[in-house]
């Protein structure tokens, strides 16, 4: 079975997009000769010199530039090195990109793709390790995707550039160097969840890098676990998620981000629409430390997942 790292999949998708669409271009800090903060754009400047724009260090400015280019018919793909830095461009994203279609009564659109590395697990410390995807799921007009493997990030990028709306793709940086199977490249349907493992006894709804952890926990669990990956967080596939939970009648929501965000939304969705027993495991509500032993304690681990599964099955 063919395998690729998460980063290789991103690079391949970007290569194909630039080759297929002369209106597309990549912009961001260090995306040129350096190849991006993590190497996702490595080699693209030499192949597409007119479609790779290295920018100054100003997330607000480059996001504004990308929005303007999108309005003029271009297809910008903006790399924000760490998703934490999206905070610097909140006005441009939330008040401009997400609103222009509505404000223009559909006469203008912003076909903008923003890639941003998210989450902990790399020792990058407090200002480079946060998980703020939940913030953006509260903004009408945005599409928010968080792929959990190489196939899905490739599929997400290809789907995003075909969408007329601003799309934010959060890429869990702890997965960048991991290898995944890379052979089932069916088109990604934005707004559609996917079942990553079929089961009958309990549904784990996992987001981002927690999908891989859920699959590992399911393999060694004493019951039959179904793993659902929403992939798209906005719009959320409520019907697909509820279909799985209604089948198993037990649900565990698993996220790296803190509980008062997408995790709570998913628990509420299940609680209000099913009779299922539901619990959540989420990231600790604390700044992210740099020390590996401390950082590891912030996010759910397999032992916690197994203990919660036991509670749901027999509690």
Q: Are residues 38 and 102 in the same domain?
A: yes
Residue of 128, 155, 209, 250 marked catalytic: 128
Total residue length of the chain: 315
Handedness of CA 7, 220, 236, 84 (dihedral sign): negative
Q: For every one of its 315 residues, what pLDDT tens digit does the chain have, with 9 covering 90 and above?
A: 789 999 999 999 999 999 999 999 999 999 999 999 999 999 999 999 999 999 999 999 999 999 999 999 999 999 999 999 999 999 999 999 999 999 999 999 999 999 999 998 888 888 888 999 999 999 999 999 999 999 999 999 999 999 999 999 999 999 999 999 998 789 999 999 999 999 999 999 999 999 999 999 999 999 999 999 999 999 999 999 999 999 999 999 999 999 999 999 999 999 999 999 999 999 999 999 889 888 888 999 999 999 999 999 997
Q: Are residues 170 and 209 in the same domain?
A: no
CATH number of residue 219's parent domain: 3.40.50.920
> Domain of 135?
3-181
pTM of structure:
0.96
Q: Are residues 148 and 203 in the same domain?
A: no
Q: Are residues 264 and 217 in the same domain?
A: yes
- Phi-psi region at 198: left, alpha or beta (left = phi > 0; alpha = psi -120 to 50): beta
Last residue of a domain, one of 133, 157, 181: 181
Q: Are residues 167 and 203 in the same domain?
A: no
Q: Are residues 176 and 272 in the same domain?
A: no
Q: Are residues 13 and 129 in the same domain?
A: yes
- Phi-psi region at 99: left, alpha or beta (left = phi > 0; alpha = psi -120 to 50): alpha
Task: Determine whether 306 is an active site residue.
Answer: no
For residue 186, being part of any structural domain is answered with no
Counting the structural domains of the chain, the total is 2
């Amino acid at each position: 079975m063919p395998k690729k790292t998460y980063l290789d999949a991103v690079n391949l998708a970007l290569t194909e997009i630039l080759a297929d669409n002369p209106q597309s271009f990549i912009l961001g800090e260090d995306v040129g000769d350096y190849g991006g903060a993590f190497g996702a754009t490595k080699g693209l400047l030499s192949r597409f010199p007119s479609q790779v724009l290295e920018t100054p260090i100003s997330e607000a400015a480059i996001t504004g530039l990308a929005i303007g280019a999108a309005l003029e018919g271009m297809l910008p793909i903006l790399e924000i090195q760490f998703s934490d830095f999206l905070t610097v461009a909140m006005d441009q994203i939330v008040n401009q990109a997400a609103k222009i279609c509505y404000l223009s009564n559909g006469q203008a659109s912003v076909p903008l793709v923003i890639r941003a590395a998210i989450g902990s697990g790399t020792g990058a410390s407090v200002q480079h390790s946060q998980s703020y995807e939940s913030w953006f799921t509260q903004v009408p007009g945005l599409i928010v995707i968080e792929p959990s493997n190489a196939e899905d990030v490739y599929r997400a990028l290809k789907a995003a550039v075909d969408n007329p709306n601003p799309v934010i793709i959060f890429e869990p940086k702890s997965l960048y160097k991991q290898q995944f199977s890379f052979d089932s490249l069916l088109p990604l349907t934005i707004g559609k969840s996917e079942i990553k493992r079929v089961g009958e006894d309990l549904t784990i709804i996992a987001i981002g890098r927690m999908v891989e952890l859920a699959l590992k926990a399911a393999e060694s669990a004493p019951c039959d676990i179904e793993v659902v990956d929403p992939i798209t967080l906005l719009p959320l596939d409520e019907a697909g998620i509820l279909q799985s939970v209604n089948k198993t009648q037990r649900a565990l929501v698993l996220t790296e981000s803190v509980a008062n965000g997408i995790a709570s939304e998913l628990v509420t969705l299940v609680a209000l629409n099913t009779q299922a027993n539901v619990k959540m495991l989420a990231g600790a509500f604390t700044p992210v430390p740099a020390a590996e032993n401390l950082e590891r304690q912030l996010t759910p681990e397999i032992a916690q997942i197994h203990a919660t599964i036991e509670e749901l099955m027999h509690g």
